[in-house]
């Protein structure tokens, strides 16, 4: 945790009261906190009425730490709550997605009616390929509507999707397929990024060399690039989906039916398959979308600028918004596809009212200059959101002033892959906002900031964020590893969920998130573990040992800095080190993902270790951030650190 830097951000006194205009129209009323606090479980039971139940539940929470079930005796079909219900109730003509391609001028409009037809067809195609209830299906896709058709079709059949971000490598994809034993893959030939086609199918072919149990691969043709074809295993989407009937009778499943698995980095080299079940997850995704984003389905045009390969895309592009029946923008490209003004073009063209993005993107837009958004009419916007990492007040203020016209409330939403949906955030129109603060737990949620001993801290103090009661969209565990679920989240503070984040209560008792306190890094809002990157590095023939730290970075929040000792002799070490460093950086990118590419690799003859042989990451982080070195008395050889600090200046590699 880069506490010193973050402490300097905090400006607890700067607060924005909700405007009377917004409050008058807000979905939430001030009494909501009290109502929910009276009986949180009953309150959540009420919220569950947002779903289209076949058999309404008579139960709510059953809690046997760390195992929770919610609404367990109810039955429903997730895709019906997202799609069919809107068609059935006469909202079929409403636009579900304005899909905007990477290339300017290319777009598609998908109404709820269209969505229903496509989901039914896709479900029928998957049935034909042999997908059954409980099967795991990997989805490795660009940001195209078929990704959403696939996700909804999979859960419509009672199968479980495991969406793997399209930027992940073949190796990362195969390990995820194997871990949850996926038998099917949905993918595309490639993806467009800034007008350039980048292939996806070759990574699938490569991954499947080590996944012999995958029986079918469904491929969307997006880029028309050349593809290798394995007959009997590979099927074109346009061959098999298009000819299906658009009628599919959905089955009703128990509330706790697994819905999806989403892999995320923990503190070990192996990503964890976080899994979520149906009704609790959907209830909280929908409820938080309604209150935190204050959505008015008849008039809002909502844009969650995230990828469906992450939990944000699952909860706030697919499930939360669709249960609410809103109109969304789904964008395929990068913020500068076609030019650095692309986002503002999209917002003004479609009249976007709600924008949800990550601090790292805001900082990039900020670097490009306020003149760019200034040239556009952004007056349709009425609410802004941020997620993924702590937001520095400068970025928050820039967002408010330059994008939000000094009028839109900003919701800084804290949550995790494991929490499934937002737990902490201001409520627009109700809660004041402070630049950089998540403010408080949502109605129905209880969190606390505790010290090392687990005691709640006073106002003005820092500690660890814990969740003190189960919530509906809580993960039901780690796929295939129940013991790890308890150990990771429920053992540090007995009876409480330990999130892994540092936090602070200010003098008003408002909540500020300060970043991870474990070996999890946050690079542009993407979660990576130090060990995962170290593991990739030592997998290279020339590497003997590696230590990785997350160092603060102006744009990406944190950046990866790796300290590496080589297997080569001292003489060899002086040979063309720059080329070797580049090779190692590319190696990490190809083993994990370009996101994991270290910003810097420092080749060093030795690493600082304690007498018990543990690498002192804290010291390395100080070195990486150019801080003065603290206590080094427990080091076996204190001169190592100074030597490494010297190497930083001379051997730092350039940024990409
Ligand atoms: C970690 C979870 C939740 C979707 C995207 C990330 C950090 C998330 C905030 C925020 C400060 C935040 C935390 C958390 N984080 N939102 N508003 N303020 N930190 O999901 O990949 O599961 O990562 O992201 O450190 O533990 P994820």
The share of the chain scoring above pLDDT 90, in percent, equals 80
- Asked whether the predicted pLDDT for residue 651 surpasses 50, the reply is no
Q: HSE-up of 114 (CA within 13 Å, CB side)?
A: 14
The residue to mutate among 164, 466, 501, having the most atoms of ligand 1 within 8 angstroms of its beta carbon, is 501
Minimal-distance CA residue to ligand 1 atom 2: 416
Q: Residues with Cβ within 6 A of ligand 1?
A: 264, 311-312, 387-390, 412-417, 438, 499-501, 513, 516, 522, 525, 527
Q: Confirm if 484 and 272 have CB atoms less than 8 A apart.
A: yes
Cβ atoms of 166 and 309 within 8 Å: the answer is yes
Q: What pLDDT, on the 0 to 100 scale, is given for residue 630?
A: 59
* Assigned fold of 520-655: GMP Synthetase; Chain A, domain 3 (3.30.300)
67-88 pLDDT per residue, tens: 999 999 999 999 999 999 999 9
In terms of Cα–Cα distance, which of 193, 190, 192, 180 is closest to 154? Answer: 180
- Gap between the Cα atoms of 341 and 329, Å rounded: 16
Q: Of 320, 388, 467, 499, which is best to mutate to test ligand 1, by the most ligand atoms within 8 angstroms of its C-beta?
A: 388
Ranking 249-258, 440-449, 511-520, 619-628 by mean pLDDT, the lowest is 619-628
CA 389 to centroid of ligand 1, rounded, Å: 5
* Ligand 1 atom at minimal distance to the Cα of residue 274: 22
**Rounded Cα distance, 16 and 98, in Å:** 32
Pairing verdict, β 258-264 and 160-163: parallel
Ligand 1 centroid to Cα of residue 361, in Å, is 14
Question: Looking at residue 525, what is its pLDDT?
Answer: 85
Helices (H) and strands (E) in the chain, counts: 24, 31
Comparing CA positions, the residue from 507, 513, 554 lying closest to residue 14 is 507
532-590 pLDDT, tens digit per residue, is 899 999 999 899 889 999 999 988 999 999 999 988 665 566 668 888 999 999 999 99
Higher pLDDT: 530 or 421? It is 421
* DSSP-assigned letters across all residues of 84-135: IHHHHTT-TTSEEEEEE-SSTT-EEEEEHHHHHHHHHHHHHHHHHHT--TT-
- Sign (positive/negative) of CA torsion 265, 266, 272, 278? negative
Say what the pLDDT of residue 649 is.
57
CA-CA distance, 552 to 625, in Å (whole number)? 7
**Whose C-alpha lies nearest to ligand 1, atom 6?**
388
- What pLDDT, in 10s, does the model give residues 267-309? 777 899 999 999 999 999 999 999 999 999 999 999 999 999 9
Q: Which of these, 607, 612, 602, 599, lies nearest to 651 by C-alpha position?
A: 602
Which conformational region is residue 347 in: left (phi greater than 0), alpha (psi within -120 to 50 degrees), or beta?
alpha
The SS3 assignment for 280 reads helix
Q: Could you tell me the pLDDT band of residue 636, with boundaries at 50, 70 and 90?
A: low
What is the distance between the alpha carbons of residues 75 and 519, in angstroms, rounded to a whole number?
Answer: 40
Q: Is the pLDDT of residue 242 over 80?
A: yes
What spacing in Å lies between the alpha carbon of 434 and ligand 1's midpoint? 18
Atom of ligand 1 nearest to the CA of 438: 17
The predicted model gives 610-626 an average pLDDT of 81
Contact 472, 284 (CB under 8 A): yes
Distances (CA, A) of 12 to 2, 466, 514: 19, 21, 14
Strand spans (E) along 148-257: 160-163, 184-188, 190-193, 196-199, 216-220, 234-236, 253-254
577 CA from centroid of ligand 1 (Å)? 36
Q: What is the mean pLDDT of the chain?
A: 93
For residues 417 and 421, what is the distance between their CA atoms, to the nearest angstrom? Answer: 8
CA atoms within 13 A on the CB side of 186: 32
Q: What are the extents of the domains in the chain?
A: 520-655
* Averaged pLDDT, 387-395: 92
Which atom of ligand 1 approaches the CA of 413 most closely? 17
Statement: residue 655 has pLDDT above 60: no
The predicted-structure confidence for 460-471, as pLDDT tens digits, reads as follows: 999 999 999 999
Question: Among the listed ranges 101-115, 166-180, 575-589, which one has the minimum average pLDDT value?
Answer: 575-589
- 653 has pLDDT over 60: no
- Give the position of tokens 């109810």: 74
How many Å lie between the centroid of ligand 1 and the Cα of residue 340?
26
Confidence of residue 4 (pLDDT cuts 50, 70, 90): very low
CB 430 within 8 A of CB 23: yes
Measuring CA to CA, how many Å separate 394 from each of 166, 304, 362, 367, 433?
Answer: 31, 22, 10, 12, 14
Nearest alpha carbon to residue 286 among 1, 588, 587, 46 = 46
**Closest ligand 1 atom number to CA of residue 516:** 25
Choose which residue among 522, 523, 532, 557 to substitute to test ligand 1 binding: the one with the highest number of ligand atoms within 8 A of its C-beta. 522
CB 8 within 8 A of CB 514: no
Q: Compute CA distances 377 → 41, 221, 340, whole Å.
A: 44, 36, 16
Asked if omega into 98 is within 30° of 0 (cis), the reply is no
Query: How does residue 654 score in pLDDT terms, banded at 50, 70 and 90?
Result: very low
Q: How far is the CA of 102 from the centre of ligand 1 (A)?
A: 27
- Of the listed ranges 27-31, 194-198, 452-456, 605-609, the least confidently predicted one is 605-609
Task: Name which residue sits closest to atom 27 of ligand 1, judged by CA.
Answer: 416
Question: What's the confidence (pLDDT) of residue 285?
Answer: 98
Q: Token pair of 28, please?
A: 């939430």
Mean pLDDT of all residues in 141-157: 98
SS (H, E, C) 14-44: CCECCCHHHHHHCCCCCCHHHHHHHCHHHHH
To which residue do tokens 């990503």 refer? 271
**With 60 as the cut, is the pLDDT of residue 652 above it?**
no
Ligand 1 center–CA 395 separation, angstroms: 17
Q: Residue 577's pLDDT is what? A: 85
Q: How far apart are CA 411 and CA 400, in angstroms?
A: 11
Residue 629 pLDDT greater than 70, yes or no:
no
Q: Looking at residue 50, what DSSP letter applies?
A: G
């Amino acid at each position: 945790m880069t506490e010193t830097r973050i402490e300097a951000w905090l400006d607890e006194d700067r607060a924005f009261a909700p405007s009377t205009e917004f409050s008058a129209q807000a979905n939430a009323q001030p009494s909501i906190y009290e109502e929910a606090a009276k009986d949180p479980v009953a309150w959540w039971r009420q919220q569950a009425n947002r779903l289209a139940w076949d058999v309404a539940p008579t139960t709510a929470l059953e809690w046997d730490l760390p195992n929770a079930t919610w609404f367990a005796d109810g039955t429903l079909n997730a895709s019906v709550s997202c799609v069919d219900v809107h068609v059935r109730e006469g909202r079929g003509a409403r636009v579900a997605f304005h899909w905007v391609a990477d290339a300017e001028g290319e777009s598609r409009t998908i109404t709820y009616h269209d969505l229903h037809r496509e989901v039914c067809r896709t479900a029928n195609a998957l049935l034909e390929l042999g997908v059954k209830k409980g099967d795991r299906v990997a989805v490795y896709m660009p940001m195209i509507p078929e990704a959403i058709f696939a996700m909804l079709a999979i859960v419509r059949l009672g199968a479980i999707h495991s969406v793997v971000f399209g930027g992940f490598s073949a190796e990362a994809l195969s390990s995820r397929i194997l871990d949850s034993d996926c038998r099917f893959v949905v993918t595309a030939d490639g993806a467009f990024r800034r007008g350039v086609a980048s292939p996806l199918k070759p990574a699938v072919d490569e991954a499947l060399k080590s996944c012999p149990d995958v029986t079918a691969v469904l491929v969307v043709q997006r880029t028309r690039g050349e593809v290798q074809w394995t007959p009997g295993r590979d099927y074109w989407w346009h061959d098999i989906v298009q000819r299906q009937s658009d009628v599919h009778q959905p089955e009703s499943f128990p509330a706790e039916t697994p819905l999806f698995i989403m892999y995320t980095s923990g503190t070990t080299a192996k990503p964890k398959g976080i899994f979520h079940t149906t009704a609790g997850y959907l209830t909280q995704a929908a409820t938080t979308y309604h209150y935190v984003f204050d959505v008015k389905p008849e008039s809002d045009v909502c844009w969650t600028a995230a990828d469906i390969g992450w939990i944000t895309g699952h909860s706030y592009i697919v499930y939360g918004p669709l249960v609410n029946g809103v109109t969304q923008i789904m964008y395929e490209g990068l913020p500068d596809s076609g030019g650095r003004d692309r986002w503002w073009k999209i917002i003004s063209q479609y009249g976007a009212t709600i924008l949800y993005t990550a601090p790292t993107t805001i900082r990039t837009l900020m670097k490009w200059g306020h003149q760019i958004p200034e040239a556009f009419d952004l007056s349709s916007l009425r609410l802004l959101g941020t997620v993924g990492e702590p937001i520095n007040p400068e970025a928050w203020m820039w967002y408010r002033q330059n994008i939000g016209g000094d009028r839109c409330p900003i919701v800084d939403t804290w949550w995790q892959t494991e929490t499934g949906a937002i737990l902490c955030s201001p409520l627009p129109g109700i809660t004041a906002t402070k630049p950089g603060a998540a403010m408080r737990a949502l109605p129905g949620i209880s969190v606390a900031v505790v010290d090392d001993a687990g005691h709640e801290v006073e106002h003005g103090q820092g500690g660890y964020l814990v969740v003190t009661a189960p919530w509906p969209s809580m993960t039901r565990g780690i796929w295939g590893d129940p013991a790890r679920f308890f150990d990771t989240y429920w053992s540090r503070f007995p009876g409480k969920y330990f999130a892994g984040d540092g936090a602070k209560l200010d003098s008003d008792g408002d909540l500020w998130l300060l970043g991870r306190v474990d070996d999890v890094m946050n690079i542009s809002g993407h979660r990576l573990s130090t060990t995962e990157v170290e593991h990739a590095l030592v997998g290279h023939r020339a590497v003997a040992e590696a230590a990785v730290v997350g160092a603060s970075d102006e744009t990406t929040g944190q950046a990866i800095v790796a300290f590496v000792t080589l297997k080569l002799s001292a003489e060899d070490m002086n040979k063309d080190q720059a080329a070797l460093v580049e090779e190692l950086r590319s190696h990490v990118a190809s083993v994990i993902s370009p996101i994991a590419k270290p910003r810097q690799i420092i080749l060093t003859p030795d690493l600082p270790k304690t007498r018990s042989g543990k690498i002192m990451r804290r010291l390395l982080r100080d070195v990486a951030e150019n801080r003065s070195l603290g206590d080094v008395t427990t080091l076996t050889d204190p001169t190592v650190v100074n030597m490494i600090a010297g190497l930083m200046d001379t051997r730092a590699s350039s940024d990409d």
